[in-house]
Amino acid sequence: MPRILSLLGLLLIGYSSNAQIDEVRRITKTLCSPEFHGRGYVNNGDSIAADFLVAEFGKIGVGAYKKSPMLQFFEIEGVNRFPGEMSVSQNGRDLEPGVHFMVDPSSGGTKKTLIPFIVSIETALDQELLGSEIARFVQDRRGNALFLDFGAAKGDTLKQLRGLGKALAVHYPVIEVMNSKFTWSVGREKLIHPLIYIQDSIANKHANFDVHIDAELLDTYKTQNVIAHIPSKKKCAKTIVFTAHYDHLGRMGASTYFPGGNDNASGTAMLISMANYFKKNPSDFNILFIAFAGEEAGLVGSKYFTENPILKLKKIRFLINLDIMGSGEEGVTAVNATLFEDEFKLLNEINDEKQLLTRIKKRGPAANSDHYWFTEKGVPAFFIYTMGPNKNYHDVFDTYEALSFVEYDDITNLLVTFVERLGK
């Protein structure tokens, strides 16, 4: 009989684990769907995601912190967005957004045919020569857009040329040829003219480009953090905080959106999963869960929270920020590991004891996610992210389908045990 009970226990553990991963996958897939518009600033994608998260916390019986509302509203100052037409064609051939071309996040809009005036790498690197070429461009009007032919630029040359297109787009339409991976972000300003990046493999400097870009700069944009809370099983003054940003880059035109699977639908789903665990297994600590908006716009939501906290920050025993949680084949990295060596040692002791992850890489402090403002305020915190073969980041290929979740169980095991042992 004991052997049968033992086998039954193992089966139940396996069932519970599979059920949790199924839930994480469901939440991640939903957050990545077109109906959420990339969780950005077109079609209120961020608010749709926030309402979904409130409902998910509600399903597992996790509610607001004391008398505070679950939604903490704040405003982002300056958001450049692309809600409408987004098309570029050369000699009548339509180019695919996010694959063949991308606009700068701060690009201005236009609807016209752009005729290239070619600027070579050699010309761009010589300030005097560049000045005379731009003067010729303005006087001769042989074209109406600067065509920066930078596809062959590499290494230090590429570094020297970086930012030139943006500087020139203050004055003229710019098409910049590149031979590297497209990445996007959230623009906080709007250039006067369009700035379009085109992959070298598709660019034709002898072609005219028909361009239609709708760009709109919002002075302010109202969004919200989502906050949920589980009180400790016995009275405790200290709180563990789990955070993840749920926002992403939104849409680059009406037909193209950035799913943000790894960054950070995966971490948001894990946040809900951790809430589900601690609801069923109350901790000696109070547990606070914060899903931040505005991370992609410059850590705006977490900055607002630390300046308008709903609890005293000194009551936070430790904060764990979850971002890019969709893989883990090569282990995880812990940002702030050099600042909080005792806690990093504890993480490694648990990992070695349980044989969970390939490695936990040590990294120093960095202002690269929402833990940053808490650390600046004296709150001990780790930012943990997975490492693996999935390199899709801030692009249209960061999809739910590209995620493996191969180390999800091990990461949650590690974090749950970490919280348990912090209380001892």
261-301 pLDDT per residue, tens = 999 999 999 999 999 999 999 999 999 999 999 999 999 99
Residue 37 forms part of a structural domain? yes
Q: What is the pLDDT of residues 13-59, one digit of tens each?
A: 444 567 889 999 999 999 999 999 999 999 999 999 999 999 999 99
Task: Tell me: do 149 and 224 sit in the same domain.
Answer: no
**Mean per-residue pLDDT for 79-84?**
98
Q: What is the pLDDT of residue 6?
A: 53
Q: What is the pLDDT of residue 17?
A: 65
Determine whether 7 is exposed, middle or buried from the number of CB atoms within 10 Å of its CB (0-12, 13-18, 19+).
exposed
Q: What is the pLDDT of residue 13?
A: 46
Domain of residue 202: give its range: 85-213
Q: Give residue 11's pLDDT band: very low, low, confident or very high (50, 70, 90).
A: very low
Q: What is the pLDDT of residue 141?
A: 76
Q: What is the pLDDT of residue 142?
A: 77
**Mean per-residue pLDDT for 56-80?**
97
* In the predicted structure, residue 344 carries a pLDDT above the cut 60: yes
Task: Tell me: do 111 and 236 sit in the same domain.
Answer: no
Task: Tell me: do 297 and 181 sit in the same domain.
Answer: no
Residue 104 forms part of a structural domain? yes
Q: What is the pLDDT of residue 328?
A: 97
- Indicate the length of the chain as a whole number: 424
Q: Which pair of tokens denotes residue 147?
A: 């065509």
Q: What is the pLDDT of residue 12?
A: 43
Residue 151 forms part of a structural domain? yes
**Residue at a domain's end among 213, 237, 263:** 213
Strand partners, 146: 117, 174
Task: Tell me: do 59 and 105 sit in the same domain.
Answer: no
Residue 18 forms part of a structural domain? no
List the single range of 13-27, 28-42, 166-180, 229-243 with lowest mean pLDDT.
Answer: 13-27
The number of domains in the chain is 2
**Mean per-residue pLDDT for 177-191?**
97
- Spatial neighbors of 322 by CB under 8 A, at least 6 apart, are 242, 243, 244, 264, 267, 270, 271, 274, 384, 385
Cβ contact 46:53 at 8 Å:
no
Which of 41, 39, 38 is CA-nearest to residue 215? 41
Q: Give residue 7's pLDDT band: very low, low, confident or very high (50, 70, 90).
A: low
Percent of all residues in the chain with a pLDDT value above 70, rounded to a whole number: 96
**Residue at a domain's end among 183, 213, 243:** 213
Residue 343 forms part of a structural domain? yes
Task: Tell me: do 396 and 413 sit in the same domain.
Answer: yes
pTM of structure: 0.94
Task: Tell me: do 391 and 278 sit in the same domain.
Answer: yes
**Residue at a domain's end among 213, 233, 253:** 213
Residue 284 forms part of a structural domain? yes
Of the two residues 200 and 8, the one the predictor is more confident about is 200
Residue 4 forms part of a structural domain? no
Task: Tell me: do 62 and 101 sit in the same domain.
Answer: no
Task: Tell me: do 94 and 238 sit in the same domain.
Answer: no
